[in-house]
Structure 1
Amino acid sequence: MKKIAFYALLLAVAFTWAGCKKLGNYQGGVVSPYIPMYDLRNLYKGTDVTLNRDNMFGSDRITGIVVSDYSGKNMPAAGYLVIQDHRRLTLLRGISIPLGADAAKYSSGDSVTVNVLGGLLTRADGILQIKNISAGNVTKISSGNAIPANRVPSSSILASPSDYESTLVAIVKGGFDPIPTPTDKFGGDKVVNDGFENINMHTEAGATFAGTALPVLANFYGIVFNTAGADGKLTPQIRMRKPDDVQVLSSTVTKTRAVISGFINDVSGGDGNYEYIQFLATEDIDFSETPFSVVVTNNAGASTPAGFPTNGWATGGGSPAVGSVAATVFRTFKFNLTSGTAKAGTYFYVGGSGKTINGSSSTSMASSNWIRAFNYTTQSGDGFGEKNGGFFANSGNAFGMAIFADTLVTKDSTPIDAMFISTGGSLFSAGPPAVGYRIANNDFYDIVNPITLDSQPFYRQGSNTLSLSYTTPADQGFYYKLGGIYNARLGKWVKARTQQIVQLTKASTIDQIEAEFPTGTLPTTLKN
C-alpha cells in the first residue's frame, strides 16, 4: 500500500508540473493597445519620459473624450488638445497634447484615439503634457458624445491639482469676491468661491466672453490648468471655454440673518430641559422688532402623527400619557423668538431652561445670550408640539432643526437655515402632492438643483441628501460644533460647515463651544 501511495504521489506531481508548463505557454491574453490616462500620468515622476511600449506596459496609444473647445478663444496659446478618460478605477484623469492650430479642429465631445509612441511626457508651463505628437497621430472616432457634469469642490482641486489637471470640472454655486459691480467683466484673473475655498478663474483678454458682466452666483464649467512656481508647487486655475460655460443662478445677493452653528442632542445624564441649539447672528437682530422662530423635528417610529409630514415643519403632534395610554413624541416643536437682541458675529441660544453646558450639575450658561428658553418637559411648544422628555433624538431616524424669519410657520414656510442629522424615517414623499420638510439655500441644501435646475424644495428630494451623522455611544455629552465661515458681505458660505465633535464634561467651559477648542476644532464664524 505504501508503494502504491508513493507512485500515486509521483504521478500527481508530474501531471501538476506538466499542467503548469502548459499554462506558462498560454497565449490567450492580449495587451490592450490603450493605456489608461491614470497610468499614463503616473509614469511622470518629475523627469521627462519618452513613451514606448515597455514603459506603457505594452500599449501604444490613449483614447478619451475631447474637452477642449476653441470657439470661445480662451484656451492656452500652446494649442492644447485636451482629452480625459476614466478607464482605470473609474478615476477621471486628463492630459494635454500641444497640437498648435490643429487642436481647434476638434470639438468638445469628440471621441479620439492618439498614438503616443515616441511622445515626450513632460511638465511644461506648469502643465503635464505629451509633446512631439503630430495631428496625424490623432484619429476621431465619433462626435457629440455627452460629457457628464463633474462637480468638484474647489478645495479638492487645490489639495490635488495634478489629479484634476486637464479635466473638465463644474464649480457649482460659485461667486466672486468682491461682489461684482455692473461694470465688472470676466476678462483677467478673478477669485471664485464655491463654499469650499477660493480658486482663480482666468479669462484671456481676447476671449469672446471677456467683456461679459460677472454674475453674482453661477455654475462655472471649465478646464483645470496648472501653473508652477519656482519651487515647483502647482497652482490650479479654471479656464472656461465658451460663453455657455456659465450657468447663472442669481443676479442678486440674498443674506441669511442667523445660521445654525452647533447643538447638543444627548447630554451626560437626562436630556429633558437641557438640550439646546447655538446660532450665529450674521447681522444685528432685535427680535422684538423682527420676530423669528425655531422648529425642531423628531421622526422616531413612535412619533405622532405617523407617516409623511403633510404639514411640513408645522406638523406638530405628540400627546401626554393619559392613564394607561403611553405618551407619544411630537413630529415638530416650535420656539418663538420675540424678545432680546443679538449682535452680528455673536452667538445666541435656544433650548431648555436648564441653561447648562452638558446637562444637570454642569457649568452654567445662564450668562450666555438665551433668546428663548423654557422647560419643554412641562410646557408645550409655541403654537405646536407637545411637551416632551427630549426634543432631539439620540439615534435612529432623522431629526432636524430650522430657523424661520417669522413666528408664523405653515407647511409652505421656507426656513432661512436648516440642518438634518441622519436620513431615516418618513421624511419626503414625491406625491403628488409632494410633502416633506422644506430646506433653505445654504451650504448643505439647494431649493433648485444647481446642475439640473429642477425644483427640489424638500430634504431628501433631488440632491438634498446631505446630513450630519449620529455620534455614539449615548449619554457622553457630545457637542456638534459645525465650524464653517459665513460671509455676510457676499451673502454666502465661503467655507462649508462640517461635523466636528467635542466631548464635553460637567466642568466644560463656554470656550469649548464658542472658540477654537480643542486646537483645530473651529466654531462657525462670520466674515465681512
Structure 2
Amino acid sequence: MKRAFVLILLVTALLYYACDNFDDPAIPEINNCSLSLTNAEGIPLSNVWVKVYYSDKKPGFVVDSTFTSVLGKASLQSLEPRDYILKAFRENGEELGATEIVVTSDNTSNNIEWELDVFVDNYTFTVILVDNKDKPIVGRKVELLTMDGGDPVSLKEGLSNAEGKVAFAKTVAGTYNVYVYDDNNTSVFAQIVSTVGAGENNSETFLIQKIYHNSDIVITGFVHDPRGSDSPITGAVSGDGLVHPGQYEYVQLMALKDINFAENNYSVVFTNTTSPTEYGWADGLYDEASKKVYQINLTTGSVSKGQYFYVGGSARAICSYYQLTVSPQLDPGVFWGVDYAAQAGGNGNGAAKNGSGLLGNGSGKSQSSVKKSAPDGIAVFKGINVDENTVPTDAIFFGTSVTYQAYQMPDNDVYSRTNSDTGEQQTLFGEGTNTYLFPVGAQDVGTFIKLGGKVTASEWLTPRSGTVFLFNMKDYPGASTADIENSADCTVFVDK
C-alpha cells in the first residue's frame, strides 16, 4: 500500500513537470493567392475550374478549388507557404492543363498569371458612332460589359477614333452590354445589348442626334414687357415726371464668331401682331404703314466670339425705370439702340412705332395666369435684304398658344424646316413640329426671358428652354448685366 502511494506521487510529479514545460503548438501560417488565367492570345478564360493539390504528398487530395470569373480571375484561400500543383478543368471535367506554383509567406508575391494552350473562338466587335449627318463622333467613350452573378462587369473600354469607331479585339462569343457615354465621357448616354459570335454582325452602330445650326448669332433673351411705359416717344414725360430717354424693349444676342458689321451686315426683325400676312418677316416692305414687323439693321460696330450684345430701343436700359430713376444703361458699344418710336424700320421694313411696342405683351399680373392671344417672334438674318422668302439663321417665338402658320423658320434647337418623323417640309412657324413657344412674362412687372442652353459655333449641346427672370425694380440700381449674362439659366457658349 505504501509502495503504491509513492508510485502515485511519482507519476503526479512527472505529469506536473511535463505540463509545466509543454510548448503550445505553432499556429500554421496561411496565405491567399490571386490567379489570372488566359490563353496564349491573352484572352481571359472564364468558368474554368481550378483545383489545388500538394506537390509532394497526398496525391489526388484537393487542397482548394475555385472557378474563374468572366475576367479569368480567381482567388485561392488559406494556403500554407509551400509548393503546389494547379490543374484546370472545363465545366464538363475535361482537364486543360497543369502547372506548379510556390506560395510564399509574402502575400504580395502570390499573384499567379497562368497561360494555357487553349483555343477560344473570338471576334473583333466594333462599335460605330455617327451623328444625324452621318459624321463620325470622335473621342466618345464606349464600354463593353458582361454579366457575372447578375452584376455588370466592365471588360474593356475605349475612345472612338477619327472614323467614329471603337474596335474590341479578341472578344469571346457571348452576350454583352454596350455603353456609350456623353460628351464629357462621365455618364452613360445610350446602351444596348449585343450578341457576339459566329453568324452575328459583331458590330453595333449608334446614331447620336446632334442639334446643328447655321447661325453666327443666336438669340439668348429678351424684354418684351418692361415695367411702366414700354416704348415711349423719346422726351415724353411719365406721370412721376421722368423724361424718357427712349424705348425699353430689346433682344439679347450672342455672337458665335468675331463679326465686323461694317463688312458683314446682319439684321434683326421683331413681330407684334395677331394676324401676320403672307409676307411674314417682310410685311413692312409691302405695306408702309404696317407695324406688324420692325427691322433693325446691324451695319456698324463689331462683336467678339462668345460676346453678349443687345438690339432694341434707344434707352439702352436693362430694366426700364422706376419712378424718377432709369435702370442702369448698357454701353453703346454693346447695345445697338434705335429710336423705333420715331424711325421706320431698316430698309423700310416696318413703320415707326409711335408708342407701340417692338413685341406684344401677355395679360395677367401673376406668372401662373399669363395669357397671350397670339405668339410673337424675333429673327436674325445674315444681310439686310429680307423678303418673304428669306430664311432666318435663328428665330424664336413666345406665347401661350399657336394661332397661325406664318414666317419662314430656320433649322435650330427648337425648330426645323423638315419634320424628322415624317420627312415632310415644314418651312413656316406653326407647321408640323414648329410649335415651340418660349414663356411670356407677367404683365407690367418687369421681366427678362432667359433662353438658356449651351451652344457652340455649329451645334446646340443643350437646347434652349426659357426661364422668366423678375427684375428688382424698386431698389436702385435694380439690375446689372450679371443678372442677365452670368447668372443661372443664361445661355452658355462652349468654344470647341
TM range (shorter): 0.5 to 0.7
Structure 1 residue 339 and structure 2 residue 300: aligned? yes
Spell out structure 1 runs of 4+ moving beyond 6 A: 184-187, 223-227, 240-250, 317-320
* Distance in 1 between residues matched to 2:411 and 2:468, nearest whole Å: 24
Structure 1 residue 391 and structure 2 residue 391: aligned? no
Question: Helix, strand or coil: the match of 2:483?
Answer: helix
Partner of 2:440: 470
The question of whether the paired residues in 1 share the 8 Å contact of 2:214 and 2:411 is answered with no
Structure 1 residue 400 and structure 2 residue 364: aligned? no
The question of whether the paired residues in 1 share the 8 Å contact of 2:282 and 2:388 is answered with yes
Instruction: Give the one of 454, 460, 480 matched to 2:430.
Output: 460
Partner of 1:493: 460
Partner of 1:381: 345
Instruction: Give the one of 246, 253, 256 matched to 2:215.
Output: 256
**Deviation digits for residues 450-489 of structure 1, max 9, x if unmatched?**
23222111111111111112222x111110111111022x
Distance 1:224 1:275, change over 3 A: farther
* Distance in 2 between residues matched to 1:414 and 1:224, nearest whole Å: 44
* Distance in 2 between residues matched to 1:294 and 1:374, nearest whole Å: 12
Structure 1 residue 315 and structure 2 residue 283: aligned? yes
Q: Structure 2: state its 5+ residue gaps.
A: 1-69, 72-128, 145-153, 166-175, 181-185, 195-200, 232-246, 363-371
Distance 1:225 1:393, change over 3 A: farther
Distance 1:336 1:188, change over 3 A: same
Question: Helix, strand or coil: the match of 1:316?
Answer: helix
Give 1:509 deviation, angstroms.
1.1
Give 1:426 deviation, angstroms.
5.5
* Distance in 1 between residues matched to 2:177 and 2:429, nearest whole Å: 32
Structure 1 residue 359 and structure 2 residue 317: aligned? no
* Distance in 1 between residues matched to 2:230 and 2:287, nearest whole Å: 19
Give 1:213 deviation, angstroms.
5.0
Partner of 2:390: 413
Give me the CA root mean square deviation: 4.2
The structure with the larger Rg is 2
Question: Helix, strand or coil: the match of 1:446?
Answer: coil
Question: Helix, strand or coil: the match of 1:437?
Answer: strand
Give 1:495 deviation, angstroms.
1.0
Question: Helix, strand or coil: the match of 1:348?
Answer: strand
* Distance in 2 between residues matched to 1:406 and 1:448, nearest whole Å: 24
Partner of 2:100: none
Question: Helix, strand or coil: the match of 2:357?
Answer: coil
The question of whether the paired residues in 1 share the 8 Å contact of 2:267 and 2:297 is answered with yes
* Distance in 2 between residues matched to 1:331 and 1:267, nearest whole Å: 19
* Distance in 2 between residues matched to 1:452 and 1:282, nearest whole Å: 31
Question: Helix, strand or coil: the match of 2:281?
Answer: helix
Give 1:366 deviation, angstroms.
3.5
**Deviation digits for residues 177-209 of structure 1, max 9, x if unmatched?**
xx748xx7999569xxxxxxxxxxx9x99xxxx
The question of whether the paired residues in 2 share the 8 Å contact of 1:362 and 1:505 is answered with no
Distance 1:287 1:412, change over 3 A: same
* Distance in 1 between residues matched to 2:302 and 2:190, nearest whole Å: 43
Partner of 2:470: 503
Counterpart code for 1:274: Y
The question of whether the paired residues in 1 share the 8 Å contact of 2:130 and 2:205 is answered with no
Counterpart code for 1:313: W
Give 1:299 deviation, angstroms.
2.0
Distance 1:445 1:288, change over 3 A: same
Write the mapping of 1:68-107 to structure 2, written as runs, cut at 5 A.
none
The count of residues paired between Structure 1 and Structure 2 equals 303
* Distance in 2 between residues matched to 1:185 and 1:481, nearest whole Å: 32
Distance 1:331 1:253, change over 3 A: closer
* Distance in 2 between residues matched to 1:211 and 1:366, nearest whole Å: 46
Partner of 1:525: 493
* Distance in 2 between residues matched to 1:443 and 1:224, nearest whole Å: 31
* Distance in 2 between residues matched to 1:522 and 1:248, nearest whole Å: 26
**Deviation digits for residues 51-105 of structure 1, max 9, x if unmatched?**
xxxxxxxxxxxxxxxxxxxxxxxxxxxxxxxxxxxxxxxxxxxxxxxxxxxxxxx
Distance 1:211 1:423, change over 3 A: same
Partner of 1:115: none
Counterpart code for 2:352: K
Counterpart code for 1:268: R
* Distance in 2 between residues matched to 1:487 and 1:441, nearest whole Å: 15
**Deviation digits for residues 150-185 of structure 1, max 9, x if unmatched?**
xxxxxxxxxxxxxxxxxxxxx997689xx748xx79
Identity %, equivalent residues: 25
Distance 1:406 1:497, change over 3 A: same
Give the TM-score normalised by the residue count of structure 2: 0.53
Distance 1:329 1:253, change over 3 A: closer
Counterpart code for 1:394: N
Distance 1:330 1:527, change over 3 A: same
* Distance in 2 between residues matched to 1:475 and 1:338, nearest whole Å: 32
* Distance in 2 between residues matched to 1:224 and 1:289, nearest whole Å: 54
* Distance in 2 between residues matched to 1:342 and 1:393, nearest whole Å: 28
Give 1:235 deviation, angstroms.
4.4
Give the TM-score normalised by the residue count of structure 1: 0.50
Give 1:410 deviation, angstroms.
0.9
Write the mapping of 1:417-432 to structure 2, written as runs, cut at 5 A.
417-422=394-399, 424=401, 427-428=404-405
* Distance in 2 between residues matched to 1:185 and 1:500, nearest whole Å: 33
Distance 1:426 1:318, change over 3 A: farther
**Deviation digits for residues 233-279 of structure 1, max 9, x if unmatched?**
994633397899777999x9764211001110111110001101010
Write the mapping of 1:24-423 to structure 2, written as runs, cut at 5 A.
180=136, 213-214=163-164, 235=188, 237-239=190-192, 255-272=214-231, 273-300=247-274, 306=275, 308-316=276-284, 330-360=291-321, 361-367=325-331, 369-370=333-334, 372-383=336-347, 384-388=349-353, 389-395=356-362, 396=372, 397-422=374-399
Partner of 2:412: 442
* Distance in 1 between residues matched to 2:418 and 2:295, nearest whole Å: 26
* Distance in 2 between residues matched to 1:391 and 1:348, nearest whole Å: 17
Distance 1:234 1:445, change over 3 A: closer
Higher-strand-fraction structure: 2
* Distance in 2 between residues matched to 1:286 and 1:189, nearest whole Å: 46
Distance 1:239 1:422, change over 3 A: same
Distance 1:172 1:378, change over 3 A: farther
Structure 1 residue 484 and structure 2 residue 453: aligned? yes
Partner of 1:34: none
